[in-house]
Amino acid sequence: MAEPSFIDQSKLRFREGEVIFRKGEMAQQMYIILSGKVRLYVSEEPKGDWLEELGKGDFFGEGSLLEALPRQHTALALEDSDLIAINRGTFMRMIRQNPEVSVKMMQRLAQRHRELGDRVENLDASKAAKPSTGPVANLVSVLSGKPYPILSHGSLIGRFDPTTGVHPDIDLTDEDHNLSVSRRHARILCEHGRYFLLEEPGVANGTFIRGERIQPSEPRELKHGDRVGFGMVVLFFERT
Protein backbone atom coordinates (compact mmCIF):
# COMPACT_ATOMS: atom_id res chain seq x y z
CA MET A 1 0.00 0.00 0.00
CA ALA A 2 2.93 2.33 0.62
CA GLU A 3 6.73 2.46 0.61
CA PRO A 4 8.43 0.72 3.56
CA SER A 5 9.98 4.00 4.66
CA PHE A 6 6.52 5.54 4.92
CA ILE A 7 5.28 2.64 7.04
CA ASP A 8 8.27 2.90 9.35
CA GLN A 9 7.77 6.63 9.79
CA SER A 10 3.99 6.43 10.29
CA LYS A 11 3.70 3.25 12.39
CA LEU A 12 2.31 3.56 15.91
CA ARG A 13 2.14 0.93 18.66
CA PHE A 14 -0.84 0.83 21.01
CA ARG A 15 -0.82 -1.51 23.99
CA GLU A 16 -3.75 -3.70 24.99
CA GLY A 17 -6.43 -1.54 26.62
CA GLU A 18 -5.00 1.75 25.31
CA VAL A 19 -7.39 4.35 23.85
CA ILE A 20 -6.45 5.42 20.32
CA PHE A 21 -8.92 8.31 20.22
CA ARG A 22 -12.12 9.30 22.02
CA LYS A 23 -15.52 10.30 20.75
CA GLY A 24 -15.77 14.09 20.48
CA GLU A 25 -12.07 14.71 19.80
CA MET A 26 -11.29 16.65 16.65
CA ALA A 27 -10.18 14.27 13.93
CA GLN A 28 -6.81 14.68 12.22
CA GLN A 29 -5.94 11.31 10.72
CA MET A 30 -7.17 7.84 9.85
CA TYR A 31 -5.57 4.53 10.75
CA ILE A 32 -4.79 1.23 9.02
CA ILE A 33 -4.27 -1.86 11.18
CA LEU A 34 -1.02 -3.75 10.52
CA SER A 35 -1.53 -6.16 13.41
CA GLY A 36 -3.79 -6.55 16.42
CA LYS A 37 -7.46 -5.74 16.99
CA VAL A 38 -9.38 -2.49 17.53
CA ARG A 39 -12.92 -2.00 18.79
CA LEU A 40 -15.03 1.10 18.09
CA TYR A 41 -17.28 2.10 21.01
CA VAL A 42 -20.42 4.24 20.78
CA SER A 43 -19.73 6.37 23.88
CA GLU A 44 -16.79 8.51 25.03
CA GLU A 45 -15.64 5.79 27.42
CA PRO A 46 -14.49 2.42 26.01
CA LYS A 47 -17.26 0.38 27.60
CA GLY A 48 -20.84 -0.60 26.92
CA ASP A 49 -22.24 -0.59 23.37
CA TRP A 50 -19.76 -0.90 20.54
CA LEU A 51 -20.05 -0.62 16.77
CA GLU A 52 -17.53 -3.09 15.34
CA GLU A 53 -14.24 -4.91 15.85
CA LEU A 54 -11.49 -4.49 13.29
CA GLY A 55 -8.39 -6.53 12.49
CA LYS A 56 -5.36 -6.66 10.21
CA GLY A 57 -5.91 -4.79 6.95
CA ASP A 58 -8.95 -2.86 8.19
CA PHE A 59 -9.01 0.92 8.48
CA PHE A 60 -10.97 3.36 10.62
CA GLY A 61 -11.29 7.09 11.29
CA GLU A 62 -11.48 7.78 7.54
CA GLY A 63 -14.08 10.51 8.08
CA SER A 64 -11.27 12.82 9.20
CA LEU A 65 -9.93 12.82 5.63
CA LEU A 66 -13.23 14.13 4.28
CA GLU A 67 -14.52 16.60 6.91
CA ALA A 68 -13.11 18.41 9.94
CA LEU A 69 -15.63 16.98 12.41
CA PRO A 70 -15.32 15.50 15.90
CA ARG A 71 -14.79 11.75 16.18
CA GLN A 72 -18.04 9.79 16.21
CA HIS A 73 -16.65 6.83 18.18
CA THR A 74 -14.02 5.85 20.73
CA ALA A 75 -11.32 3.49 19.44
CA LEU A 76 -9.67 1.00 21.82
CA ALA A 77 -6.83 -1.46 21.19
CA LEU A 78 -8.15 -4.89 22.29
CA GLU A 79 -4.62 -6.28 22.14
CA ASP A 80 -1.15 -4.96 21.33
CA SER A 81 -1.65 -3.37 17.91
CA ASP A 82 0.49 -1.76 15.24
CA LEU A 83 -1.24 0.94 13.19
CA ILE A 84 -0.35 3.29 10.35
CA ALA A 85 -1.49 6.88 10.90
CA ILE A 86 -2.39 8.75 7.70
CA ASN A 87 -3.30 12.42 7.39
CA ARG A 88 -5.21 13.98 4.48
CA GLY A 89 -2.13 15.12 2.54
CA THR A 90 -0.46 11.71 2.73
CA PHE A 91 -3.69 9.97 1.75
CA MET A 92 -4.09 12.08 -1.38
CA ARG A 93 -0.51 11.28 -2.42
CA MET A 94 -1.14 7.57 -1.88
CA ILE A 95 -4.22 7.68 -4.12
CA ARG A 96 -2.31 9.45 -6.90
CA GLN A 97 0.52 6.93 -6.71
CA ASN A 98 -1.66 3.85 -6.27
CA PRO A 99 -5.35 4.18 -7.35
CA GLU A 100 -5.99 0.68 -5.96
CA VAL A 101 -6.03 2.27 -2.51
CA SER A 102 -9.14 4.32 -3.33
CA VAL A 103 -10.86 1.27 -4.88
CA LYS A 104 -10.30 -0.81 -1.74
CA MET A 105 -11.51 2.02 0.44
CA MET A 106 -14.69 2.49 -1.61
CA GLN A 107 -15.38 -1.25 -1.40
CA ARG A 108 -14.95 -1.18 2.37
CA LEU A 109 -17.10 1.95 2.72
CA ALA A 110 -19.85 0.35 0.63
CA GLN A 111 -19.77 -2.68 2.93
CA ARG A 112 -19.97 -0.47 6.01
CA HIS A 113 -22.85 1.47 4.43
CA ARG A 114 -24.83 -1.76 3.99
CA GLU A 115 -24.08 -2.82 7.56
CA LEU A 116 -25.05 0.59 8.88
CA GLY A 117 -28.30 0.47 6.91
CA ASP A 118 -29.17 -2.83 8.58
CA ARG A 119 -28.41 -1.38 12.02
CA VAL A 120 -30.54 1.72 11.35
CA GLU A 121 -33.48 -0.44 10.27
CA ASN A 122 -33.18 -2.50 13.45
CA LEU A 123 -32.90 0.67 15.56
CA ASP A 124 -35.97 2.22 13.91
CA ALA A 125 -37.93 -0.95 14.58
CA SER A 126 -36.82 -0.87 18.22
CA LYS A 127 -37.82 2.78 18.61
CA ALA A 128 -41.22 2.16 17.03
CA ALA A 129 -41.91 -0.42 19.72
CA LYS A 130 -41.08 1.98 22.55
CA PRO A 131 -42.77 5.21 23.69
CA SER A 132 -40.92 8.44 23.00
CA THR A 133 -38.66 9.60 25.83
CA GLY A 134 -38.86 13.27 24.80
CA PRO A 135 -36.06 15.76 24.21
CA VAL A 136 -32.54 15.10 25.45
CA ALA A 137 -31.75 18.75 26.18
CA ASN A 138 -33.58 21.89 27.32
CA LEU A 139 -33.07 25.53 28.18
CA VAL A 140 -34.84 26.20 31.49
CA SER A 141 -35.91 29.74 32.39
CA VAL A 142 -34.58 31.11 35.68
CA LEU A 143 -37.57 33.47 35.85
CA SER A 144 -40.47 31.11 35.16
CA GLY A 145 -38.93 27.64 35.40
CA LYS A 146 -40.36 26.83 31.98
CA PRO A 147 -38.34 24.30 29.93
CA TYR A 148 -37.68 25.05 26.26
CA PRO A 149 -36.88 21.83 24.35
CA ILE A 150 -33.88 21.90 22.00
CA LEU A 151 -34.59 20.14 18.71
CA SER A 152 -32.36 17.24 17.72
CA HIS A 153 -31.06 19.12 14.66
CA GLY A 154 -30.57 22.40 16.57
CA SER A 155 -32.75 25.37 17.50
CA LEU A 156 -33.00 29.06 16.64
CA ILE A 157 -33.47 31.27 19.72
CA GLY A 158 -35.15 34.69 19.65
CA ARG A 159 -38.49 36.51 19.84
CA PHE A 160 -41.67 36.33 17.78
CA ASP A 161 -41.56 38.63 14.74
CA PRO A 162 -45.05 40.16 14.19
CA THR A 163 -44.01 41.53 10.78
CA THR A 164 -43.26 38.12 9.28
CA GLY A 165 -45.30 36.03 11.69
CA VAL A 166 -42.28 33.78 12.25
CA HIS A 167 -41.62 32.16 15.62
CA PRO A 168 -38.09 30.98 16.43
CA ASP A 169 -37.74 27.38 17.62
CA ILE A 170 -37.20 28.70 21.15
CA ASP A 171 -39.42 31.77 21.53
CA LEU A 172 -38.39 33.93 24.52
CA THR A 173 -41.06 36.60 23.97
CA ASP A 174 -42.83 35.81 27.26
CA GLU A 175 -39.53 35.84 29.18
CA ASP A 176 -38.20 39.10 27.70
CA HIS A 177 -40.08 41.95 29.40
CA ASN A 178 -37.27 44.40 28.53
CA LEU A 179 -37.15 43.52 24.81
CA SER A 180 -33.45 42.71 25.13
CA VAL A 181 -33.57 39.56 22.96
CA SER A 182 -33.17 39.96 19.21
CA ARG A 183 -35.71 38.42 16.79
CA ARG A 184 -32.95 36.05 15.63
CA HIS A 185 -30.61 36.10 18.59
CA ALA A 186 -28.64 32.85 18.65
CA ARG A 187 -28.63 29.26 17.53
CA ILE A 188 -27.89 25.99 19.34
CA LEU A 189 -26.22 23.40 17.14
CA CYS A 190 -26.10 19.69 17.89
CA GLU A 191 -23.12 17.72 16.53
CA HIS A 192 -22.64 14.07 17.49
CA GLY A 193 -24.28 14.48 20.88
CA ARG A 194 -22.51 17.76 21.72
CA TYR A 195 -24.27 21.13 21.88
CA PHE A 196 -22.80 24.43 20.73
CA LEU A 197 -24.13 27.99 21.14
CA LEU A 198 -23.63 30.38 18.23
CA GLU A 199 -24.70 34.05 18.24
CA GLU A 200 -26.49 35.29 15.13
CA PRO A 201 -25.14 38.36 13.24
CA GLY A 202 -26.25 41.83 14.32
CA VAL A 203 -27.22 41.01 17.92
CA ALA A 204 -27.14 44.15 20.09
CA ASN A 205 -27.37 42.94 23.67
CA GLY A 206 -25.02 39.98 23.63
CA THR A 207 -25.07 36.26 24.36
CA PHE A 208 -23.45 34.84 27.49
CA ILE A 209 -22.25 31.53 28.91
CA ARG A 210 -21.51 31.50 32.65
CA GLY A 211 -21.50 35.31 32.59
CA GLU A 212 -18.92 35.55 29.80
CA ARG A 213 -19.99 37.16 26.55
CA ILE A 214 -19.29 34.99 23.52
CA GLN A 215 -18.03 36.38 20.24
CA PRO A 216 -20.31 36.42 17.18
CA SER A 217 -19.83 33.54 14.73
CA GLU A 218 -17.63 31.63 17.23
CA PRO A 219 -19.51 28.54 18.51
CA ARG A 220 -19.03 27.70 22.20
CA GLU A 221 -19.79 24.28 23.63
CA LEU A 222 -22.51 23.99 26.26
CA LYS A 223 -22.21 21.75 29.32
CA HIS A 224 -24.97 20.52 31.62
CA GLY A 225 -25.80 23.21 34.19
CA ASP A 226 -24.33 26.13 32.23
CA ARG A 227 -26.04 29.50 32.88
CA VAL A 228 -26.87 31.02 29.50
CA GLY A 229 -27.93 34.63 28.85
CA PHE A 230 -29.66 36.18 25.85
CA GLY A 231 -29.69 39.91 26.48
CA MET A 232 -31.29 40.16 29.94
CA VAL A 233 -32.98 36.74 29.81
CA VAL A 234 -31.20 34.01 31.77
CA LEU A 235 -31.72 30.26 31.41
CA PHE A 236 -29.91 27.07 32.35
CA PHE A 237 -28.80 24.42 29.90
CA GLU A 238 -29.88 20.93 30.98
CA ARG A 239 -29.38 17.51 29.45
CA THR A 240 -31.83 14.76 30.36
**DSSP string for residues in 92-123:** HHHHHH-THHHHHHHHHHHHHHHHHHHHHHHH
pLDDT of residue 70: 82
Residue type, 1: M
pLDDT top residue among 205 and 111: 205
Report whether pLDDT(87) > 90: no
CB atoms within 10 A of CB 22: 17
> Cα–Cα distances in Å, from 139 out to 182, 203, 222, 228, 233?
17, 19, 11, 8, 11
> Cα-Cα-Cα-Cα dihedral of 201, 204, 209, 211, to 10°?
160
The CA angle 152-193-81, to the nearest 5 degrees, is: 150
- Residue 26 pLDDT level (bands cut at 50, 70, 90): confident
Looking at 26-30, 145-149, 229-233, which range is the least confident one? 26-30
Position with higher pLDDT, 6 vs 179: 179
pLDDT for 134 beyond 60: no
Least confident span in 2-16, 176-190, 208-222: 2-16
Domains of the chain: 4-128 (2.60.120.10), 137-239 (2.60.200.20)
The partner residues of 85 in beta bridges, in order of sequence, read 31
Q: Give 33's contacts (C-beta < 8 A, 6+ positions apart).
A: 54, 55, 56, 57, 58, 59, 60, 81, 82, 83
Percent of the chain topping pLDDT 90 = 37
The whole-number pLDDT of residue 162 equals 82
Please report which confidence band the pLDDT of residue 237 belongs to, taking 50, 70 and 90 as the band edges. very high
Its pTM stands at 0.46
